[in-house]
Amino acid sequence: MRNLIDILDFSTEELQALISVADDIIENPDRYREVCRGKILGTLFFEPSTRTRLSFTSAMMSLGGQVLGFDNAGSSSVSKGETVADTVRMVSAYSDIIAMRHPKEGAPIAASAVATVPIINAGDGGHFHPTQTLTDLLTIHRKCGRFEGLTVGVCGDLKYGRTVHSLIAAMSRYEGVRFVLISPDELRLPDYVKEQFLGSGGCEYTETCDLEGAIPELDILYMTRIQRERFSSEAEYERLKDSYILNKSKLSEAKPTLSVMHPLPRVNEIDVDVDDDPRAHYFEQAAFGRYIRMALILFLLDTKGVDDRRQRGEESDSLVCENPHCLSLSERGIKKLFSGGRCVYCDQRARKI
- Residues serving a catalytic function are 51-52, 80, 101, 129
Nearer Cβ to ligand CP, position 203 or 274?
274
Task: State the burial class of residue 340 (Cβ atoms within 10 Å of its Cβ: 0-12, 13-18, 19+).
Answer: exposed
Quote the least distance from Cβ 265 to ligand CP, whole Å.
Answer: 6
Quote the least distance from Cβ 350 to ligand CP, whole Å.
Answer: 28
Quote the least distance from Cβ 55 to ligand CP, whole Å.
Answer: 8
The bridge status of strand 220-223 relative to strand 319-320 is: unpaired
Positions touching ligand CP (CB under 6 A) are 49-52, 123, 132, 263-265
Quote the least distance from Cβ 78 to ligand CP, whole Å.
Answer: 19
Nearer Cβ to ligand CP, position 270 or 343?
270
Quote the least distance from Cβ 264 to ligand CP, whole Å.
Answer: 5
Nearer Cβ to ligand CP, position 42 or 263?
263
Nearer Cβ to ligand CP, position 159 or 262?
262
Quote the least distance from Cβ 123 to ligand CP, whole Å.
Answer: 6
- Residue 41: beta bridge partners? 67, 97
Nearer Cβ to ligand CP, position 118 or 263?
263
Nearer Cβ to ligand CP, position 264 or 350?
264
